[in-house]
Amino acid sequence: MNVKLGRSLLGLLVPILLLGDVLSPGARDTSQAKKPKVFDEKADGKKQVADAVAMATREHKRILLEFGANWCAWCVKLHQLFETDNSVSDELKADYVVALIDRNEDHNKDLMVKYGAEYNYGYPFLVVLDSDGKHLITQHSEDFEAGDHYNPPKVLSFLKEWAPKR
């Protein structure tokens, strides 16, 4: 094919491809739109903690606060691990009341300060409270990372370490 004809075809092909995106937006990568909403961006974190304390007191469990934001890939990965890894999920159900605290922009910043994570803590991070709401530990989630994912045995070990003594 000669160069002139190739450029002409390319000139026709580009607008057709662009028009295809307009007419069929599903053809483009919409991974941003498909990302799950893990954190309630309007929820009052103090109320979430109070509700978790009430439930944990009744059920004799610990409270696990997961601080993060919906735009945070590592936050979504940790939440997915909580839901899909059977050993982690079973441990959470048995010993914890979980509250997902949104930290998008300055939302619930007061809780971040309260639990000592205002400096040098990226997202997500975890806070464990006893059934009365007493702060036990604030934990970086990066300690559970293994390459591009979380290591389930490390997460499980942490959960078992801080589970209520029965």
Same domain, 20 and 98: no
What's the chain look like in SS3?
Answer: CCHHHHHHHHHHHHHHHHHHHHHCHHHCCCHHHHCCCCCCCCCCHHHHHHHHHHHHHHHCCEEEEEEECCCCHHHHHHHHHHHHCHHHHHHHHHHEEEEEEECCCCCCHHHHHHCCCCCCCCCCEEEEECCCCCEEEEEEHHHHEECCEECHHHHHHHHHHHCCCC
Residues 64 and 22 in one domain: no
74/121 Cα distance (integer angstroms): 13
One domain, residues 90 and 13: no
Do 71 and 21 lie in a common domain? Answer: no
59 in the same domain as 121: yes
pTM: 0.76
Query: What's the domain count of the chain?
Result: 2
18-77 pLDDT per residue, tens: 333 333 333 333 444 556 688 888 989 999 999 999 999 999 999 999 989 999 899 999
**Is 101 found in the same domain as 71?**
yes
**19 & 74 share domain:** no
The answer to whether position 37 is within a domain reads: no
Higher pLDDT, 9 or 49: 49
- At residue 97 the predicted structure's pLDDT band, cuts being 50, 70 and 90, is very high
Identify whether 34 is part of a domain: no
Residues 69, 123, single domain; the answer is yes
Sign of CA dihedral 58, 139, 68, 76: negative
Q: Are residues 22 and 85 in the same domain?
A: no
| pLDDT at position 19 | 39
Do the domain assignments include residue 128? yes
Q: Identify the weakest region by mean pLDDT among 28-37, 76-85, 121-130, 135-144.
A: 28-37
CA angle 158, 108, 132 (to 5 degrees): 50
Residue 62 is part of a domain; what is its CATH number?
3.40.30.10
Same domain, 87 and 25: no
Q: Is residue 104 part of a domain?
A: yes
Residues 70 and 145 in one domain: yes
Q: Are residues 104 and 50 in the same domain?
A: yes
Range of the domain at 20: 3-29
Q: For residue 55, what are the contacts with CB-CB under 8 A and spacing of at least 6? A: 61, 97
Q: Which has more confidence, 144 or 105?
A: 144
Question: Is there a domain that residue 17 lies in?
Answer: yes
